[in-house]
Amino acid sequence: MEERKVLYSAIQPTNNLTIGNLIGAIKNWTNLQNDYDCFFAIANMHAITVRQVPADLRQKTLSMLALYLACGIDPEKCTMYVQSHVPAHAELCWVLNSFTYVGEMERMTQFKDKSARHAENINMGLMDYPVLMAADILLYQTDVVPVGLDQRQHVEIARDIAQRFNNIYTPTFKIPEALYMKVGAKINDLLDPSKKMSKSAENPNGSIFLSDDRDTIIRKFKRAVTDSGSEVKFDPENKAGVSNLLTIYSVFTGKTIAEAEADFAGKGYGDFKLAVGEAVADKLAPIQKEQEKLLADKSYLEGVLRSGAERAAHTANKTLAKVYKKIGFYQL
Protein backbone atom coordinates (compact mmCIF):
# COMPACT_ATOMS: atom_id res chain seq x y z
CA MET A 1 0.00 0.00 0.00
CA GLU A 2 1.35 3.43 -0.95
CA GLU A 3 2.43 5.54 2.02
CA ARG A 4 0.21 8.55 2.53
CA LYS A 5 1.67 12.02 2.12
CA VAL A 6 2.10 14.14 5.25
CA LEU A 7 -0.02 17.29 5.62
CA TYR A 8 0.59 19.97 8.27
CA SER A 9 -1.62 22.87 9.29
CA ALA A 10 -2.16 25.00 12.39
CA ILE A 11 -4.46 27.72 13.71
CA GLN A 12 -3.76 30.11 16.58
CA PRO A 13 -6.13 29.85 19.56
CA THR A 14 -6.77 33.59 19.55
CA ASN A 15 -9.86 35.56 18.64
CA ASN A 16 -13.04 33.83 17.61
CA LEU A 17 -12.97 31.94 14.34
CA THR A 18 -15.41 33.10 11.67
CA ILE A 19 -17.56 31.23 9.17
CA GLY A 20 -14.79 32.11 6.69
CA ASN A 21 -12.30 30.05 8.76
CA LEU A 22 -14.85 27.23 8.93
CA ILE A 23 -15.34 27.15 5.14
CA GLY A 24 -11.75 27.94 4.15
CA ALA A 25 -9.83 25.77 6.62
CA ILE A 26 -11.62 23.49 9.07
CA LYS A 27 -14.16 22.02 6.62
CA ASN A 28 -11.32 21.29 4.19
CA TRP A 29 -9.41 19.56 7.00
CA THR A 30 -12.30 17.15 7.58
CA ASN A 31 -11.94 16.03 3.95
CA LEU A 32 -8.15 16.04 3.86
CA GLN A 33 -7.86 13.77 6.93
CA ASN A 34 -9.10 10.89 4.78
CA ASP A 35 -6.37 11.30 2.17
CA TYR A 36 -3.29 12.43 4.11
CA ASP A 37 -1.35 11.67 7.28
CA CYS A 38 -2.44 14.92 8.98
CA PHE A 39 -0.83 16.92 11.78
CA PHE A 40 -3.15 19.67 13.02
CA ALA A 41 -1.63 21.97 15.64
CA ILE A 42 -3.06 24.56 17.97
CA ALA A 43 -0.38 27.21 17.52
CA ASN A 44 -0.13 28.76 20.98
CA MET A 45 3.58 29.59 20.58
CA HIS A 46 2.76 31.79 17.58
CA ALA A 47 -0.05 33.40 19.57
CA ILE A 48 2.20 35.06 22.17
CA THR A 49 3.90 37.32 19.61
CA VAL A 50 0.91 39.55 20.46
CA ARG A 51 0.07 40.03 24.15
CA GLN A 52 -2.45 37.49 25.47
CA VAL A 53 -4.40 37.18 28.73
CA PRO A 54 -2.96 33.90 30.11
CA ALA A 55 -6.27 32.47 31.43
CA ASP A 56 -7.99 33.31 28.12
CA LEU A 57 -5.22 31.65 26.10
CA ARG A 58 -5.56 28.45 28.13
CA GLN A 59 -9.35 28.43 27.73
CA LYS A 60 -9.22 29.23 24.01
CA THR A 61 -6.75 26.36 23.50
CA LEU A 62 -9.29 23.84 24.80
CA SER A 63 -12.14 25.59 22.95
CA MET A 64 -10.18 25.31 19.70
CA LEU A 65 -9.65 21.58 20.20
CA ALA A 66 -13.34 21.09 21.03
CA LEU A 67 -14.23 23.02 17.85
CA TYR A 68 -11.94 20.83 15.69
CA LEU A 69 -13.65 17.75 17.12
CA ALA A 70 -17.16 19.20 16.82
CA CYS A 71 -16.53 19.91 13.13
CA GLY A 72 -15.64 16.28 12.49
CA ILE A 73 -11.85 16.14 12.74
CA ASP A 74 -11.14 12.64 14.02
CA PRO A 75 -8.30 12.08 16.55
CA GLU A 76 -8.08 8.46 15.37
CA LYS A 77 -7.34 9.58 11.81
CA CYS A 78 -5.01 12.51 12.48
CA THR A 79 -2.68 13.98 15.07
CA MET A 80 -4.10 16.95 16.99
CA TYR A 81 -1.85 18.59 19.54
CA VAL A 82 -0.80 21.86 21.18
CA GLN A 83 2.38 23.31 19.70
CA SER A 84 4.05 24.04 23.07
CA HIS A 85 3.55 20.40 24.14
CA VAL A 86 6.22 19.40 21.59
CA PRO A 87 9.48 21.19 22.59
CA ALA A 88 11.09 20.21 19.27
CA HIS A 89 9.23 23.14 17.64
CA ALA A 90 11.22 25.68 19.67
CA GLU A 91 14.44 23.66 19.41
CA LEU A 92 14.36 23.37 15.63
CA CYS A 93 13.36 27.04 15.33
CA TRP A 94 16.59 28.01 17.14
CA VAL A 95 18.70 25.94 14.75
CA LEU A 96 16.90 27.31 11.67
CA ASN A 97 17.48 30.87 12.88
CA SER A 98 21.14 30.30 12.01
CA PHE A 99 20.16 29.50 8.42
CA THR A 100 17.79 32.46 7.95
CA TYR A 101 18.80 36.00 6.99
CA VAL A 102 17.53 39.15 8.68
CA GLY A 103 16.65 40.71 5.32
CA GLU A 104 14.36 37.78 4.53
CA MET A 105 12.43 38.31 7.75
CA GLU A 106 12.17 42.08 7.31
CA ARG A 107 10.56 41.57 3.91
CA MET A 108 7.81 39.28 5.22
CA THR A 109 4.40 40.85 4.62
CA GLN A 110 2.95 39.66 7.91
CA PHE A 111 5.83 41.20 9.89
CA LYS A 112 5.20 44.56 8.22
CA ASP A 113 1.43 44.34 8.79
CA LYS A 114 1.64 43.24 12.42
CA SER A 115 4.37 45.79 13.19
CA ALA A 116 2.07 48.52 11.90
CA ARG A 117 -0.87 47.19 13.95
CA HIS A 118 1.15 46.59 17.15
CA ALA A 119 3.68 49.43 17.00
CA GLU A 120 4.02 49.38 20.81
CA ASN A 121 5.18 45.73 20.76
CA ILE A 122 7.45 45.00 17.77
CA ASN A 123 9.22 42.04 19.35
CA MET A 124 11.69 39.47 18.01
CA GLY A 125 9.01 36.78 18.14
CA LEU A 126 7.01 38.79 15.62
CA MET A 127 9.98 38.90 13.27
CA ASP A 128 10.92 35.26 13.92
CA TYR A 129 7.36 34.03 13.38
CA PRO A 130 8.08 32.61 9.87
CA VAL A 131 11.12 30.66 11.14
CA LEU A 132 8.99 29.02 13.82
CA MET A 133 6.42 28.27 11.13
CA ALA A 134 9.17 26.73 8.99
CA ALA A 135 10.18 24.57 11.98
CA ASP A 136 6.53 23.54 12.46
CA ILE A 137 6.32 22.36 8.87
CA LEU A 138 9.78 20.81 8.46
CA LEU A 139 9.70 18.82 11.72
CA TYR A 140 7.13 16.42 10.30
CA GLN A 141 8.80 15.92 6.90
CA THR A 142 5.69 17.55 5.50
CA ASP A 143 4.71 17.05 1.88
CA VAL A 144 1.88 19.58 1.67
CA VAL A 145 0.64 22.62 3.58
CA PRO A 146 -2.91 23.79 2.81
CA VAL A 147 -2.81 27.58 2.51
CA GLY A 148 -4.66 30.57 1.19
CA LEU A 149 -2.79 32.92 -1.12
CA ASP A 150 -2.07 35.24 1.83
CA GLN A 151 0.01 32.48 3.49
CA ARG A 152 2.03 31.56 0.39
CA GLN A 153 5.06 33.56 1.56
CA HIS A 154 5.38 31.40 4.69
CA VAL A 155 5.58 28.16 2.73
CA GLU A 156 8.09 29.74 0.33
CA ILE A 157 10.42 30.78 3.18
CA ALA A 158 10.13 27.29 4.72
CA ARG A 159 11.17 25.83 1.35
CA ASP A 160 14.10 28.28 1.07
CA ILE A 161 15.39 27.47 4.57
CA ALA A 162 15.03 23.71 4.01
CA GLN A 163 16.88 23.86 0.68
CA ARG A 164 19.64 25.99 2.20
CA PHE A 165 20.13 23.49 5.04
CA ASN A 166 20.00 20.51 2.65
CA ASN A 167 22.60 22.14 0.38
CA ILE A 168 25.02 22.89 3.25
CA TYR A 169 24.75 19.40 4.72
CA THR A 170 22.98 16.51 2.99
CA PRO A 171 19.25 16.10 2.27
CA THR A 172 17.60 16.29 5.69
CA PHE A 173 14.25 17.98 5.14
CA LYS A 174 11.52 17.19 2.68
CA ILE A 175 10.75 20.31 0.62
CA PRO A 176 7.09 21.10 1.32
CA GLU A 177 4.59 22.15 -1.33
CA ALA A 178 1.75 24.61 -0.83
CA LEU A 179 -1.64 23.00 -1.33
CA TYR A 180 -3.97 25.69 -2.65
CA MET A 181 -7.50 24.66 -1.85
CA LYS A 182 -10.05 25.03 -4.62
CA VAL A 183 -11.60 28.43 -4.21
CA GLY A 184 -15.03 27.34 -3.20
CA ALA A 185 -16.28 30.34 -1.37
CA LYS A 186 -14.53 33.52 -0.45
CA ILE A 187 -16.52 34.91 2.45
CA ASN A 188 -16.32 38.70 2.75
CA ASP A 189 -17.12 41.16 5.53
CA LEU A 190 -20.85 41.86 5.88
CA LEU A 191 -20.31 45.60 6.35
CA ASP A 192 -17.46 46.00 3.84
CA PRO A 193 -17.80 43.32 1.13
CA SER A 194 -14.55 44.47 -0.49
CA LYS A 195 -12.64 42.88 2.42
CA LYS A 196 -12.30 39.28 3.52
CA MET A 197 -14.25 38.37 6.67
CA SER A 198 -11.66 38.44 9.45
CA LYS A 199 -11.47 37.18 13.01
CA SER A 200 -9.56 40.35 13.93
CA ALA A 201 -11.72 42.91 12.08
CA GLU A 202 -12.06 46.30 13.78
CA ASN A 203 -15.85 46.11 13.64
CA PRO A 204 -17.05 42.68 14.87
CA ASN A 205 -20.50 43.26 13.33
CA GLY A 206 -19.06 42.53 9.88
CA SER A 207 -17.99 39.01 10.89
CA ILE A 208 -20.03 35.96 11.86
CA PHE A 209 -18.14 34.14 14.58
CA LEU A 210 -18.59 30.43 15.21
CA SER A 211 -19.46 31.31 18.81
CA ASP A 212 -22.27 33.77 17.88
CA ASP A 213 -25.72 32.73 19.09
CA ARG A 214 -28.73 32.58 16.76
CA ASP A 215 -30.06 36.06 17.63
CA THR A 216 -26.64 37.66 17.10
CA ILE A 217 -26.19 35.91 13.73
CA ILE A 218 -29.59 37.05 12.47
CA ARG A 219 -29.08 40.61 13.78
CA LYS A 220 -25.72 40.86 11.96
CA PHE A 221 -27.19 39.60 8.68
CA LYS A 222 -30.10 42.04 8.94
CA ARG A 223 -27.53 44.87 9.11
CA ALA A 224 -25.44 43.51 6.21
CA VAL A 225 -24.67 45.92 3.39
CA THR A 226 -26.55 45.33 0.12
CA ASP A 227 -27.15 48.09 -2.48
CA SER A 228 -29.77 50.57 -3.64
CA GLY A 229 -31.46 48.06 -5.96
CA SER A 230 -33.89 45.30 -5.05
CA GLU A 231 -32.88 42.31 -7.21
CA VAL A 232 -31.14 39.33 -5.57
CA LYS A 233 -28.60 38.62 -8.29
CA PHE A 234 -25.00 37.37 -8.30
CA ASP A 235 -22.89 40.21 -9.70
CA PRO A 236 -19.69 40.66 -7.62
CA GLU A 237 -18.63 43.79 -9.49
CA ASN A 238 -21.84 45.80 -9.19
CA LYS A 239 -23.59 44.05 -6.30
CA ALA A 240 -20.73 43.02 -3.98
CA GLY A 241 -22.85 42.84 -0.80
CA VAL A 242 -25.69 40.83 -2.35
CA SER A 243 -23.19 38.51 -4.09
CA ASN A 244 -21.39 37.88 -0.78
CA LEU A 245 -24.71 36.98 0.89
CA LEU A 246 -25.63 34.68 -2.01
CA THR A 247 -22.25 32.93 -1.66
CA ILE A 248 -22.83 32.41 2.08
CA TYR A 249 -26.39 31.15 1.47
CA SER A 250 -25.13 28.78 -1.23
CA VAL A 251 -22.39 27.35 1.04
CA PHE A 252 -24.65 26.85 4.04
CA THR A 253 -27.60 25.34 2.15
CA GLY A 254 -25.66 23.30 -0.42
CA LYS A 255 -27.55 25.02 -3.25
CA THR A 256 -25.94 26.42 -6.39
CA ILE A 257 -25.82 30.20 -6.87
CA ALA A 258 -28.48 29.86 -9.59
CA GLU A 259 -30.76 27.93 -7.21
CA ALA A 260 -30.14 30.53 -4.51
CA GLU A 261 -31.08 33.35 -6.92
CA ALA A 262 -34.27 31.46 -7.85
CA ASP A 263 -35.21 31.11 -4.15
CA PHE A 264 -35.37 34.91 -3.86
CA ALA A 265 -36.84 35.88 -7.24
CA GLY A 266 -39.36 38.63 -6.59
CA LYS A 267 -38.47 38.89 -2.88
CA GLY A 268 -36.98 41.91 -1.12
CA TYR A 269 -33.62 42.25 0.60
CA GLY A 270 -35.23 42.00 4.05
CA ASP A 271 -36.53 38.46 3.43
CA PHE A 272 -33.27 37.53 1.71
CA LYS A 273 -31.02 38.65 4.59
CA LEU A 274 -33.22 36.92 7.17
CA ALA A 275 -33.09 33.64 5.18
CA VAL A 276 -29.28 33.80 4.92
CA GLY A 277 -29.00 34.39 8.67
CA GLU A 278 -31.31 31.47 9.44
CA ALA A 279 -29.40 29.13 7.10
CA VAL A 280 -26.11 29.96 8.84
CA ALA A 281 -27.59 29.73 12.35
CA ASP A 282 -29.15 26.33 11.53
CA LYS A 283 -25.80 24.92 10.41
CA LEU A 284 -23.78 26.34 13.31
CA ALA A 285 -26.21 25.21 16.05
CA PRO A 286 -25.20 21.50 16.08
CA ILE A 287 -21.47 22.40 15.97
CA GLN A 288 -21.91 24.78 18.91
CA LYS A 289 -23.90 22.19 20.87
CA GLU A 290 -21.27 19.50 20.30
CA GLN A 291 -18.45 21.90 21.21
CA GLU A 292 -20.22 22.76 24.48
CA LYS A 293 -20.68 19.07 25.28
CA LEU A 294 -16.99 18.36 24.64
CA LEU A 295 -15.85 21.31 26.77
CA ALA A 296 -17.74 19.80 29.69
CA ASP A 297 -15.48 16.73 29.47
CA LYS A 298 -12.05 18.20 30.15
CA SER A 299 -10.43 14.82 30.86
CA TYR A 300 -11.41 13.56 27.39
CA LEU A 301 -9.97 16.70 25.73
CA GLU A 302 -6.74 16.40 27.71
CA GLY A 303 -6.51 12.73 26.69
CA VAL A 304 -6.76 13.72 23.02
CA LEU A 305 -4.02 16.33 23.51
CA ARG A 306 -1.77 13.96 25.46
CA SER A 307 -2.05 11.24 22.82
CA GLY A 308 -1.57 13.82 20.02
CA ALA A 309 1.52 15.30 21.68
CA GLU A 310 3.09 11.83 22.06
CA ARG A 311 2.49 10.99 18.40
CA ALA A 312 3.70 14.40 17.22
CA ALA A 313 6.82 14.26 19.42
CA HIS A 314 7.70 10.79 18.13
CA THR A 315 7.91 12.11 14.56
CA ALA A 316 9.35 15.54 15.46
CA ASN A 317 12.14 14.15 17.64
CA LYS A 318 13.36 11.86 14.84
CA THR A 319 13.80 14.90 12.57
CA LEU A 320 15.44 16.94 15.35
CA ALA A 321 17.93 14.17 16.17
CA LYS A 322 18.90 14.01 12.49
CA VAL A 323 19.38 17.80 12.39
CA TYR A 324 21.46 17.81 15.59
CA LYS A 325 23.71 15.10 14.18
CA LYS A 326 24.19 16.98 10.89
CA ILE A 327 25.18 20.25 12.57
CA GLY A 328 27.59 18.56 14.97
CA PHE A 329 25.76 18.69 18.31
CA TYR A 330 27.16 16.06 20.67
CA GLN A 331 24.29 13.77 21.64
CA LEU A 332 24.06 11.32 24.52
| Active-site residue set | 114, 196, 199
Cα Rg of the chain (Å, integer): 21
Q: Where are the alpha helices (DSSP H) in 223-329?
A: 240-253, 257-263, 269-295, 298-327
Which residue type sits at 73? I
Half-sphere exposure of 220 (CA within 13 A, CB side): 25
3-class secondary-structure state, position 289 = helix
Other beta carbons within 10 Å of 26? 21
Residue 188 CA to residue 198 CA, distance in Å, equals 8
DSSP-derived letter for residue 6 is: E
Residue 18 CA to residue 35 CA, distance in Å, equals 25
Residue 189 CA to residue 191 CA, distance in Å, equals 6
